[in-house]
Amino acid sequence: MTVARVPVAARRRVIGPLPRIDWLPTLLVLPALLVLAVVLLYPIVVGIRLSLFDVAFVAGDSDRFVGLDNYARMLRNGQFWQAFRVTVIYTTVVVTASFLIGLGTALLLNVRFRGRAVLRTIAIIPWPIPEVVAVMIWAWMFSADFGVINYFVSLVAPGVGKIAWLSDPSLALPAVSMVTIWKQFPLATVMILAGLQHIPLDHYEAAAVDGANARQRFRYITWPGLRHVNLVLVLLLVLYTFKRVTIIFVMTGGGPGRATETLPIQTYLQSFQFFDMGYASAIGALMLTVAMSFTLVYLALTRRDPEQV
């Protein structure tokens, strides 16, 4: 039995004309992609390459390939694990406090009252202030000799005496965390406030008619309505906190006694103080992997529940 062959022209008439590919959007986006490749991808590739070498800083010497020795040395180094522990504590405290303070501030500023516009402006002032300027002011406020924070402490507890906030290993990390929270919570406030204003008022009115109290309205209406905003916000707060350098470096430089030395600070010190660029690049590659893992978790959550994000 033979099967009659349909001419190509006839098949095209049945299937229809082949769709044309519109290359214009690709061509319009291509310059931006090239810029991103040069600004972002190229440094990442160079950094990963440097992590496999013993980088020479002396003129005339060449880089020596060491493979994964920098990574092995990093995992055996107790100072690395100390910095990793400080980074985890610092990130957890700052992200949690920034989110909770931002949530409380947004709920307050979402209520109608006289002077709300002024308070909204005041609440976001810490965010646009340059970090170096803000940190210098806070460093002066934390001064053990003439800082205003010690002055207020002396008013509440006159017998405490001078507190060396930035020189005491047990107080330096809380002080640095406080400044970071003050700098970051306005971001959480703005994002959560925007999410609150997108929740329909009809839901609250229906809940009030059904007799729901404030706690129940928050649990069953406000919190589910903020789920998509909270997911993005937590990701941004984690990434912002994880890579913080300016606040810690200006206030303490990673001290005292490595009490505030996070992984970004250790990377900077290994690069520009000890000139061990290969080892510093290994730490940077690990930080990139951790940051990418947070992003992958976010993508997994968005794919699982795409309507909420």
Per-residue model confidence as pLDDT tens digits over 267-309:
999 988 888 899 999 999 999 999 899 888 888 887 766 554 4
Tell whether 101 is covered by a domain: yes
CA distance 181 to 79: 26
- The answer as to whether 125 is a domain residue is yes
Please check whether residue 269 lies inside any domain of the structure: yes
- In-domain check, residue 22: no
Name the nearest CA neighbour of 111 among 212, 184, 185, 217.
217
| DSSP character at residue 53 | E
What mean pLDDT comes out for the span 43-56? 88
Residues 6 or more apart whose CB falls under 8 angstroms from that of 213 comprise none
Domain span including residue 130: 52-308
Q: How confident is the model at residue 63 (pLDDT cuts 50, 70, 90)?
A: confident
**Could you give the dihedral angle defined by the CA atoms of residues 275, 276, 277 and 280, in that order, rounded to the nearest 10 degrees?**
-120
pTM recorded for the entire structure = 0.85
How many Å apart are CA 293 and CA 299, to the nearest integer? 10
CATH (domain of 230): 1.10.3720.10
pLDDT at 181 over 80: yes
Residue 16 domain-assigned (yes or no)? no
The pLDDT, as a whole number, for residue 309 is: 45
User: What's phi and psi for 91, nearest 5 deg?
Assistant: -65, -45
Asked if residue 9 is part of any domain, the answer here is no
1 inside domain: no
How many structural domains comprise the chain? 1
Look at residue 95 and tell me if it is in a domain: yes
The residues with which 65 forms a beta bridge, in sequence order, are 53
